[in-house]
């Protein structure tokens, strides 16, 4: 049988043999826990940084949108309103043409008539020459 002396001599060796793998296993478990904590902290920092980046990107987009509105959209809206006002005045003027005493010989009326028919007015009418108007009247009277 195993004697006490043998156990006293072998006991430190047995503890050494068992403690080395057990200590390594326990150390690896503690290191893994430590690394998981560090990893969680780094993931939280990454999420925070990504959130900050998204926020700054959103602010940049808002600022760019404001610049776009100030430099392009608003001036275009103003020009569009001006054009609409001018077009309204033109419509009002065109509506009054038929009450004008000079309407039969007016080159503007003739040009508008040609355009409404889908054609181009003769060059002389575009220039507003009186002789071309007289020739046209004479051609219309003979036709």
pLDDT tens digits, residue range 126-137?
Answer: 555 555 555 555
Q: What percent of the chain has pLDDT over 90?
A: 46
19 and 64 share a domain? yes
Q: What is the mean pLDDT of residues 56-60?
A: 95
Whole-number pLDDT of residue 41: 96
> Is 40 a domain residue?
yes
Whole-number pLDDT of residue 29: 94
107 and 65 share a domain? no
> Is 32 a domain residue?
yes
> Is 63 a domain residue?
yes
Nearest to 140 by CA among 95, 110, 98: 110
**Highest mean pLDDT: which range of 9-18, 25-34, 87-96, 107-116:** 25-34
> Is 79 a domain residue?
no
Which residue range is the domain that position 139 belongs to?
101-143
109 and 58 share a domain? no
> Is 136 a domain residue?
yes
> Is 83 a domain residue?
no
pLDDT of residue 39 exceeding 90: yes
Last residue in a domain, options 51, 72, 93: 72
Q: What is the DSSP string of 42-84?
A: HHHHHHHHHHHHHHHHHHHHHHHHHHHIIIIIHHHHHHHHHHH
User: How many CB atoms sit inside 10 A of residue 64's CB?
Assistant: 10
Cβ-defined contacts of 2-8 (< 8 Å, 24+): none
pTM: 0.46
> Is 2 a domain residue?
no
14 and 68 share a domain? yes
pLDDT tens digits, residue range 10-19?
Answer: 888 888 888 8
Query: What is the domain count for the chain?
Result: 2
Q: Which residue has the higher pLDDT, 15 or 38?
A: 38
67 and 106 share a domain? no
> Is 89 a domain residue?
no
pLDDT band for position 141 (cuts 50, 70, 90): low
pLDDT of residue 3 exceeding 90: no
């Amino acid at each position: 049988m195993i004697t006490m002396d043998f156990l006293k001599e072998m006991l430190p060796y047995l503890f050494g043999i068992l403690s080395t793998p057990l200590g390594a296993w326990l150390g690896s478990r503690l290191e893994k826990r430590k690394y998981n904590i560090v990893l969680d902290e780094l993931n939280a920092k990454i999420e925070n940084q990504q959130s900050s980046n998204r926020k700054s990107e959103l602010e940049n987009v808002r600022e760019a949108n404001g610049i776009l509105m100030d430099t392009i959209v608003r001036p275009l809206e103003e020009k569009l309103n001006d054009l609409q006002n001018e077009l309204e005045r033109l419509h009002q003027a065109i509506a009054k043409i038929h009450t004008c005493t000079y309407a039969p010989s007016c080159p503007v009326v003739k040009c508008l008539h040609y355009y409404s028919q889908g054609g181009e007015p003769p060059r002389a009418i575009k220039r507003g020459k009186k002789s071309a108007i007289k020739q046209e009247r004479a051609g219309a009277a003979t036709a």
